[in-house]
Homo-oligomer: A and B are copies of this chain.
Amino acid sequence: MQRIVLLTEGFTEPETAKTAASVLRYRREDVVAILDSTQAGRTAEELLETGGDVPIVASLDEIELADTLVLGIAPPGGKLPDTWRPTILTAISRGMDIVNGLHHFLVDDAEFVQAAERHNVELKDLRRNNESDIAQRKDLNDKCLRVHTVGHDCTVGKMLTAIELTRGLKLADHDAKFVATGQTGILVSGDGIPMDRVISDFVNGAAERLVRENQHHEMMIIEGQGSLAHPSYSGVTLGMLHGFFPHALIMCYEVGRQWTKGVEHVPVPPLAKIFELYETMASIWRPCPVIGISMNSRLVDEAAADEEVVRMEKQFGIPVCDVVRHGPKKLIDAIVNFNQRRLASE
């Protein structure tokens, strides 16, 4: 167990601080406080919609015992906010390890490296990797079901859906493995590859490596990244889709999302179009259908969410639910049924 402080200074809201929100959701017992001087006195739940009464504090001085500072944001491009440098140096001087999911690596930053050596703390860059193998499309064990969560945009719940489905499948006595593909998933689950930091030639190969390493399980639920319709990140998304070579997809979307995250002048295509893009690209070598829809209804009320479920199930003819609001049962049934039919037809 760790005693974590989540640094979200100036960015404590669910989307930009999604790393912090996920640590609160899945490792809450390890979290001591959130550090954001602009929101001091409030609680995690109020601002991040998770984390209960974990306090937001203005300064490390207010925290008695803490051993780890986690940089809790995932901004586009992954740059380090300049204003965070003094806080990180203070944490180091107090003997805290630093966990960083940004593209800006602490171990490449002389000031942090010197401070860490002086105070004997660890700088852990979650996105650092050394992937250098190209995909071979070989030695994949199709006995192990591969389900991939994909989305119509960034920040719609692909990781959360994959974690909730894995938990639900385990509770139903299935040997399911959550496969993390981003810094937050890695921080929460303890393994995985930060796919968006892999050299582009090796993305498909890195995905394939994760398949080979996990295919002793009955099934793997693989976190998606970006979107095939995102002008900035589609390359990562397709490299993963072809490297993981899944048997089935779960489509994640946020109700009401109209404009693409980070490029807000670009419309998100209609979901029917999104389905076409994914099923076309996933089914080049063999059919790979979307078998369920994970609806993120965080911005609408209960009644609107229920109406949306009815409308979507009618339009697409597959199960739809919000895994937070309704629980993941419908999607778990869809996965288990799909796998039974798949194995029976072999």
Contacts and interface: CB of A to CB of B under 8 A. Distances in A.
A277 B277 CA distance: 9
A232 interface: yes
A228 B237 CA distance: 12
Interface stretch (A34-42, A63-71, A238-246): A238-246
Contacts of A236: 200-201, 203, 235, 239
Copy tally for this chain in the complex stands at: 2
Interface stretch (A87-95, A190-198, A317-325): A190-198
Given A197-B200, A197-B201, A201-B78, A265 B235 contact: no
Interface string A282-301: 00110000000000000000
A153 to B, nearest CB: 13
A234 B203 CA distance: 9
A136 B201 CA distance: 22
A263 interface: yes
17 contacts: A77-B201, A103-B201, A134-B232, A137-B265, A196-B199, A196-B200, A199-B200, A203-B235, A204-B235, A231-B242, A234-B241, A235-B238, A235-B240, A235-B243, A236-B239, A276-B280, A281-B281
